[in-house]
Each structure stands twice: as structure tokens, then as C-alpha cells.
Amino acid sequence: MKKFIYIFGIILLNLFAFGAIFKVMHWPGAGILITVGLGLFALIFLPLAFFNNYRGEGKKQFSLHLSGFICALICISGALFKVQHWPGSGIMLIIGVPLPFLYFLPVYLYHHNKAKEKSVINFLGVMFLMLYISVFSAFLSLSVGKEILNSMVTMYEDFSKTNELYTLKNNMDYLKLESSLPLEKKQKVEKIKTKTIELEKTIESIKIDLIKGTDGINSPAIKGNKIEIGKFSAREESSFTTNFMHGADGASGMAVELKTKIVDYREFLLSILKDNQAKYQNINKLLNTSDITDSNIGEAQKIPWEVQFFQNGTYAIVILTNLECLETRIKMSEAELLSSFK
């Protein structure tokens, strides 16, 4: 039994270690490895270890082992919830961070002083463990400042307001053009409107799926087909975001699909503006999806537009803001094209 527990614990710790590496490198599968590693460690390994020790000589130091079990369970669960951005992590960490010092340490010191044979090595080991817990908790609590995240929310809202204004302006232009243009041009204008709406729906669908994937399907940030970005709580999530936008292989996510649709939309708009070079260039710049040359890498290697615009490891709130910005560019391009019919 004891041998099995040791082996099981080592396996789980290795799973967590690999999960942490995957998390740092923003590789897919990090969430599963961390969840399995820490989850099974807290729910299976700790109870087994406590029960096995209690059956042996643990009865003499029941309070010590119980305090260690409770502190470890709460700390590990809090860490798991924090890493995975699950609700309740804040409360667990508030309780779990000081608990080893307020509960376990006094109990340990009591039993240590009571013991006839005091082990200096064990005492130093526990002290180093407590130091590690404090440092680990400090790093775990580190996150992007609320001011930065709030500024991204504000930026998203600014883009959203701009999009609303452009929507009103463009709709008014559509009404004017539909009543004044000949049939052939009316059909072109109607096609512009249809293609623009289709592309905007694609972007809105991506945003909603991203929010549901990071904040849950019942996220308060989603009201029907509308997004209330201020209620989006999983702003720092990056693992799902990277996998969602770029796929498991880094080239099959929503970013690639979106790029293809933007290219098709841009080419359609430009096909109408062949004789108007100024507007042609403006739209080409607004909807540019060319690869970007990184001077740090060298001219021979280029970064695809989708990788640059939706970088790996980027927070969900940044991706959402970039998508909203992209909608602004689309509406500006739409307005630029409509003005050519006046």
C-alpha cells in the first residue's frame, strides 16, 4: 500500500510539472495535465496518504497529520482553481495561504517540542517547506494589474461605441443610395451590405464562443446575441484562447478561418474600386492581412498576420478587443466604399 502511494504521488507530481511547463509555453493540453495532476493529488493521494499513515503510527500525532491534510487540501485546491480560473479560487486562497502558518505550524511546533527525540533535519525541512509555500503563494497571487485589464475593457467599449456610430452612418448611406442609384449599382450596394453583415456575424460568433469557452456557457457577459464586456470575468485566460484561435497544431483555429474571410471580403471591395486608387489603397490598408517581417528574426522569416494579430498566450480580453477593433476596420472600409457611390 505504502509503495503504491509513493509511486502514485510521484506520477501525479510529474503530471503537474509537465502541465506547468505546458502552461508556461502556452501549449495545448496544459489545463488537462494540471487538472488531473493537482485534482487527483488533492482528492485521492492526500486521503490515501493520511489514512495509511493513521493506520501506522499516525494515531499518536493525529492532530498534526489532520492539520497537514486540511492545509494541503485547501492550498492545492485553491491553486488548481486559480490556475484554471474557476470561481471560488479567491476564497480558497484567502483561507489557504495563511492557514499553514496559523494552523499547521503551531500544531507542528507543539508536537516537535513534545517529542523526546527532536529531529533538527525534520524541523529544517518543515521550515523550508513553509518558506516554499509562502513564495509559491506570492507568485500564485501575482497577476496582471486590474488597471491594465480595466483599460482593455474600456478600449473594447470605445471600439464598440465607434462601431455603433459607423453602423448608423452606413445604414443612412444605404437608404440614400437605394433611393437614388440605378438598378445595377443598387445590386452592388446590396451585395456590399450582405457581405459586410456576414463577416460581422462571423466575428461576433467568434467572440461569443470565446467568452463561453473561457467564462462558461452561462457567462453573464452574454445577453442573447449581445456582449456586455464589463461582466466578463475570465479576462486573463490564455490557454483556451490560444488553442481556440490557432488550433492544436497552431494553424487550424478560428484565426486562420477569419483571415480567409477577411481576404475574400477585401478582394470583393477592391474589385469595385479599381478606378479609385485613393479609396482602393485606404481599404487595402484597413483590411491588410499580409505577413509581417520581424527584424529580430530576419527578413527570410515572416510572421503570419493571424499570429501577429492574435498572439499565442494573449489574454482573452486582448483577443476580444482586437476582434472589436477588426470590426471597426470593417465598418470603416464599408463606409469608404459607400462614399464612392455618392
Q: What is the pLDDT of residues 241-300, one digit of tens each?
A: 888 999 877 778 999 999 999 999 999 999 988 778 889 999 999 999 998 776 554 455
* Helix pair angle (120-141, 62-83), 10° resolution: 20
Integer angstrom CA distances of residue 251 from 10, 44, 70, 304:
35, 38, 44, 10
pLDDT, position 59? 64
In sequence order, the β-bridge partners of residue 223 are: 226
Kindly calculate the radius of gyration of the chain based on its CA atoms and give it in whole angstroms. Answer: 28
Ranges of each domain in the chain:
2-141, 146-339
| 12 contacts 45 by C-beta, under 8 angstroms | yes
What sign for the dihedral angle of Cα 193, 199, 204, 205?
A: positive
pLDDT tier at 312 (50, 70, 90 boundaries)? confident
Single out the residue of 15, 32, 47 nearest to residue 239, CA to CA: 32
Residue 191 has pLDDT above 70, yes or no: yes
Q: What is the pLDDT of residues 86-102, one digit of tens each?
A: 777 778 878 877 887 88
In sequence order, the β-bridge partners of residue 222 are: 227
Residue 224 has pLDDT above 50, yes or no: yes
pTM, two decimals, is 0.63
Whole-number mean pLDDT of the chain?
Answer: 82
pLDDT, position 239? 78
Residue 61 has pLDDT above 80, yes or no: no
Residue 177 has pLDDT above 70, yes or no: yes
In sequence order, the β-bridge partners of residue 298 are: none
Give the CA count within 13 Å in the CB-facing half-sphere of 125: 6
Single out the residue of 310, 304, 311, 269 nearest to residue 290, CA to CA: 304
